[in-house]
Structures are given as C-alpha cells and as structure tokens.
Chains A and B, each alone.
Chain A
Amino acid sequence: MTKPHTTTTRPSLEIIKENNNTLRLKVKGSLNAYTTAVIWNDSLSEFKKTNPKELILDGAGIDYCDASGIAFITDLRIKQDEAGGAYKVEGLSDEINKLYKLFDPKDFEKPEEIESKVSENKIEAAGRLGYAAWEELKINIVFTGRVTVALFQALLRPDKIRWRDVFVTSEKFGANALFIIALVNFLVGLVIAFQSAVPMKQYGAQIFVADLLVIAYFKELGPLMTAFVVNGRSGSAFAAELGTMKVNEELDALDTMGLDPVPFLVVPKVIASVAMLPLLTVFGNLFGLIGGLVVMFSLGFTFSTYINQLTIAATYGMLLAGLFKTLFFAVIIAGVGCLAGMRAAKGPSAVGDAATKAVVVGIVLMILVDGLFGVIYYILGI
C-alpha cells in the first residue's frame, strides 16, 4: 500500500447505472480524511436520487484507504441497509478489506435518545425550582450556623485557632490590597467631588462639596467600594483556594482525618477578613477624601478650609456606622468565598465557576445588607 502523504492521488468517482435497479459506484484513488469528502457527497446524492435496489461499490481502483475511507464505504452500507436494498463491495484489496471487516455498523450505532418519561407541566416545574431554591437556602443556613458555632468555639479556645493561617490571610487580604484600595478610592473620591462641584457652582456652594463627599464616603462609598474591591480580590481567591483543595481531594483528606473544614479552613479566613476590612475601609476613606482635596484645590480652596469643612460635616457616628457595616461585609466575603469553594464540582472549569459565583453572590449579598443598614440607620437617626 502506498503512503497517503507522499503519493496522494485524488479520488475519483464513476457512476454507472447498470440497469434500472443496480447502481455501481466505481471509486479510484486515495481515500483519507482530506480526500474522501470529494466523493462522499456526490455518491450520497446519486444514491438518494436513484434509490437503487442493489448498490455495488467497486473499490478495485482504491490504492489507499484509512478509517475515513472505511467510514465512507460503511456509510453507504448503512444507508442502503436502511433503505432495505442489497449492498455489495467488490474489488477491495486484502488489506483494505480486512480494515473494512473490522467495523460492523451495529457496533457504533447512535444510541437512541432516551426521551424523558416524565412530561413536566408548569406547576411541576415551579415546584422543582422552588425545591431547588429551598435546598440551596438550607445549605447556606447550615453553613452560616456551622461558621457561627465554629467562631464561638474559637473565641472560647483561642489557642486552637490556626493563627499562622490568620496572619498569612491577613497579609494577602489586607496589606497586599493597600495599593488598589488607595487607587480606586482616590479616583472615586475625585470623580464624585468633581461631578458634584459642577451643579454646586450654580448656587455658589462649592464649599459644600466637602460635606457631600465626607458624608457619602463615611456612610456608604468607603465601606462599599473597599468591600467590592476586596471581594473581587480575596473572595474569589478563597473560592479558588478551597475549590482547588476540593478537586485535589484535600477536603476529603481533612474529613478522613476527622477534621472539620469549617474551623480548620474557614474560621482563620473569617477572622482575618473581619480584622482587615475595617482597617482597609479607614484607609479607603482617607484616599477618597484626598481625591476630593484635589478637586477642592482646583476650585481654589486651601487645605485648611477643606479640612475645616470636613470636620464640621463629619461625625464620629457616621464613621463608626460605616465601619460597623464592614464587619458584616467581611463575614460575607470570607463566608461566601469559602462556601463557593467547598461546593465546587469536580473538573477543570469547576474552580473558575466557584470563583465567579463567590464574587457575584458576595456583591449581591453586600448590597442587600447595605440596604438593610440604610433602613436601620435611618430609623435610628444616624
């Protein structure tokens, strides 16, 4: 047999209608994955047109044939079997014939699509959806409970806390995030101050840009912006870390050592997160106000006027109200990230999915909690 890639001869097809009932397809040349297509379509369309009682494939002229060529020959055979006619292969060389005999069409029939026996109506679908949502909620409640219990146990036995993990996480979560927190908050502060300066100017009230900025920053923007950035950085990192541990069977290993992953892995992250996020928020507030300072300078105010105006507008209550929220945001970031990681499926895309889920769910939950605090603070008059 000649090698396909050295001496490939393009296949040719000769269609002979021997009589009304018999179609003879004479194939010559080399049949491989690249060349077979040339004759495959022609043969099929001719076959469909004539619908012969007997189909003969004359392969005497085939000088090379690989599995693709065999697939072509077999395809005709399957089509003819389905049509209920006779099929004959003639003239194949011994080698090709051996290869042809290897493949019995019955061995690779497409499995019949199993139709789902249960026909689902809308009520049933709604029920399933509701049940799935309930199960999901249950997992979250159970996890929240486990984390809470583990945190209390950690408070009672601080020596059992894995402090090294706490410090390592604190560094990654807190110290390493300083630059991006500073940058984001500086820019947001700058933009907010600038945008509000334009309408304020109409009333000659530019000095109140400082009031607006510091109130917005202490109460909402500082905590939220900082938490969003940290959620993107660390929430996804927690999910990826625990997801990878799940995929690598490390979580199973913990389990068979009798160690609960919640105190072992989640608690250090929650502690680090709760310790770091308020500090980062203070830092973020500072840079937001520095952003405002740049705008105030450009409006012609001095540094001391700006600071003076800030101290008049801001209260410790505002600052603390904002920082208090971040404790909850911190628990959400760590908790949601860890849970997403622990629930990661197996497979290469699982870790990525877990990280995405952590970030999205984290943001949604934080906005909900923020809204809740908005209502509470309003009622309390803070």
Chain B
Amino acid sequence: MAETIINVKDFTAAYGDNVIIDNINFDVYKGEKFIILGGSGCGKSTLLKHMIGLYRPANGSILIEGENISKAEGQERIEILKNIGVAYQLGALFGSMSVLENVRLPLEEYTDLNNDSIDLIARMKLNIVGLTGSEDKSPSELSGGMIKRAALARAMALDPDILFLDEPSAGLDPITSAELDQLINQLAKSLGVTFVIVTHELNSIYNIADRVIMLDKSTKGIIATGDPEYLRDNSEIPIVQKFFKRQTDEQLGG
C-alpha cells in the first residue's frame, strides 16, 4: 500500500452538542487525488476545515505527515501549515492586494528570498494556472473561474505537499469547470502533489478522483470508499447508487 500522508483517526466533529460527523477513520495516500463527497449538509466542509486545522475535533486526531494538526500550537502549527495549501470555496483572495501580491504573500512571510526572486516564483505560479497578464488586477476585477485559479496559485505558493480544495467547481460553467479539472490533473502529475478535494460535481469526480469517500448525513459517517466508477457500478447501497447515477428513488426503482 502507498505511503499514508494524512491519517484521520476516531474523528468526531461537533458544534456544541450537535454532532456533525461521528467517529470516522480514513487515510489519504501520498500523491493521490482524494475526494470527499456527499449530499448537502453532511459535513464535507466541516471535515475539510478540521483537516486544515481551523477547528478542533470533538474527539480523535488528524495527523498531517505524522504531525497532529489539531493539537499543534504556535511555531509547530505553522510548520505543519507550511506544508499544506488551501483554496477556499469563495477564493478568499485578499481584496486589498493585487493578484500577484496575494501569491507573493506566503513567500514574503516565510522565505528569505529577495524581492525579485519572490516576484519570479509568484509569476510562475500564476502562469501555471493560466493567469499571466492578470497579475496586477485586483481580485474584484476577476471572474469566478479566475478567482478560483488565483486562489489555487496562492495555495501553491510555497509548493506544499498537500493541496486542499473546497468545492473548486462550485458556481463555474461546465467548460471552466472542466478546465479546472484538467489543471488539477496536470498539477498532480507534474508536481506530485496530494489533492484533497471537497465537491459534489459528478463530472469532476469522474475526471479527477483516484479515490473518494462519501459521507452520509443520517449515519454521520462514511458510507462508501473507493474508486468512483467502481462504486457507481458495484455499490449496493442505494444512496451511493443514487448519487453516482444522479437518480431519484423512482428512477432507480423503474
């Protein structure tokens, strides 16, 4: 089996007394494109936010490259965070800075590189995501697809080992969304980055995923793990079948 890069163990997430995810376990392997999916409100984004250390789990642990991100504090936490990049659902680019400055920011904060080198690296990252020419624009001047790509460039600024993407294709038209999928595949291949992606776009899932886990709202756990095509054709769980075939009960029965 491949090398484990993220280990989620006995993980429970809750807001107050309201348990969202109840005791799940899974591993993400190095270099794979791992997709977390499930219906609306099943805790996909909650799980992601715990994995990137924004929230503390109610129980259990999340190890990123062997380090417990849920317990780490101060410098230790920063060292873990340097190895991950996050592209948020809405992009979360800093509105007061240009696109280039957004990508430069992590480099300025964490490296001793001189100004010109930082500039070069940031421009390269923007070139990878196809945003050459938009460096000096403000985030508010970009379209939805460009914002997502700029966010991806910023997440990649420090060449992290793991990239987390929260609904990368949400709100994009099918063509832009397919281009983004292609970009993710290219990056995974050329840079060997591990991707953890939250989505419920079926096309993206088939295009990208090496492996998926599917969360379920009623059981608050994982109801399926594996290759999406395999799950589509072989899963005997009705919800999983419905999801992958985009069907309602009636269609499935008929």
Contact = CB atoms under 8 A, between A and B. Distances in A.
Max chain B C-beta neighbours (<10 A), residue from A168, A244, A245: A245
B94 interface: yes
B38 interface: no
A253 B88 contact: yes
Interface string A148-171: 000000000000000001001000
B205 to A, nearest CB: 23
B80 to A, nearest CB: 9
A365 to B, nearest CB: 27
4 shortest A-B CB distances, which residue pairs?
A258-B78, A253-B92, A258-B81, A249-B92
A248 B84 contact: no
B95 to A, nearest CB: 7
Interface of B: 49, 52-54, 77-78, 81-82, 84, 86, 88-96, 105-106, 109-110
Given A168-B96, A250-B92, A257 B109 contact: yes
Interface string A243-261: 0110011101101111100
Interface string A234-276: 0000000000110011101101111100000000000000000
Given A257-B81, A257-B105, A257-B106, A252 B96 contact: no
Nearest to A257: B106
Contacts of B82: 258
A165 B96 contact: yes
A253 B87 CA distance: 8
B81 A249 contact: no
A259 B78 CA distance: 8
Given A245-B94, A248-B91, A256-B86, 7 more contacts: A168-B96, A245-B95, A250-B95, A252-B54, A253-B88, A257-B105, A258-B109
B81 A248 contact: no
A31 B96 CA distance: 56
Interface of A: 165, 168, 244-245, 248-250, 252-253, 255-259
Contacts of B89: 249
A117 to B, nearest CB: 13
Contact of B109 (A168, A255, A259): A259
Max chain B C-beta neighbours (<10 A), residue from A244, A250, A257: A257
Contacts of A257: 81, 105-106, 109
A250 B140 CA distance: 14
A264 to B, nearest CB: 9
Contacts of B84: 256
A249 B165 CA distance: 13
Max chain A C-beta neighbours (<10 A), residue from B52, B92, B95: B92
A165 B101 CA distance: 13
27 contacts: A165-B96, A168-B96, A244-B95, A248-B90, A248-B91, A248-B92, A248-B95, A249-B88, A249-B89, A249-B92, A252-B49, A252-B54, A252-B88, A252-B92, A253-B88, A253-B92, A255-B54, A256-B52, A256-B53, A256-B54, A256-B81, A256-B84, A257-B106, A257-B109, A258-B78, A258-B110, A259-B105
Contacts of B93: 250
Nearest to B49: A252
B102 to A, nearest CB: 9
